[in-house]
Chain A
């Protein structure tokens, strides 16, 4: 009964490869997110989708492409991986509450290591 799940949990790959990370939430939330947490543990938003529509697209290299086939799923595809892409990637979801407030819940994370 995991609320927000991600696969894979660990991903080790070589520079130049293309990889995907998948995220699913069973909370019935309308909004999903991708965050990157670097080696200094700083958590930064990358993308957000609301009902399959892209609403946040931070300054992220266009090698990163999110895709939301439906509001319960948000995938992240990364082309031509670079050493600097090594990080932990977290998926999150949220639902609007009364007053326009959102509580975000995070998945377990995917640790990506590029060699």
Chain B
């Protein structure tokens, strides 16, 4: 079983819609959770982190964490073509960041 699993993509959404990305993790000792955005040929860019149960909002992005269900999600509201990228979910424990395989999002203009 992979440590971090993400919903398989690709995910295609129309411009202005909400993109919903899901992630589950297997290590209950994971302390904090991260969403990175990676454009093709570029490095991962940190967009959100969360370590308490509940929701965390930053601009058009909302991260949700449910430790009991070992579930993390990312919502992108008012999706823009510039949001088209691969989104990586990661769980942190004991200095180590374990990544999911990523979900590719395409926003249709």
Binding site for B on A (CB under 8 A): 31, 33, 40-45, 48, 50, 55-56, 90, 99-109
Contacts and interface: CB of A to CB of B under 8 A. Distances in A.
Given A99-B51, A103-B46, A48 B95 contact: yes
Contacts, number: 52
Main secondary structure of the interface of A (DSSP, over half): strand
A60 to B, nearest CB: 13
Identify the 3 closest CB pairs spanning chains A and B, nearest first.
Answer: A106-B43, A43-B99, A101-B32
Main secondary structure of the interface of B (DSSP, over half): strand
Nearest to A4: B43
A109 B60 CA distance: 28
A101 B99 contact: no
Given A43-B88, A105-B46, 13 more contacts: A31-B95, A41-B38, A41-B86, A41-B102, A42-B102, A44-B99, A50-B95, A101-B32, A102-B92, A103-B46, A108-B43, A109-B42, A109-B43
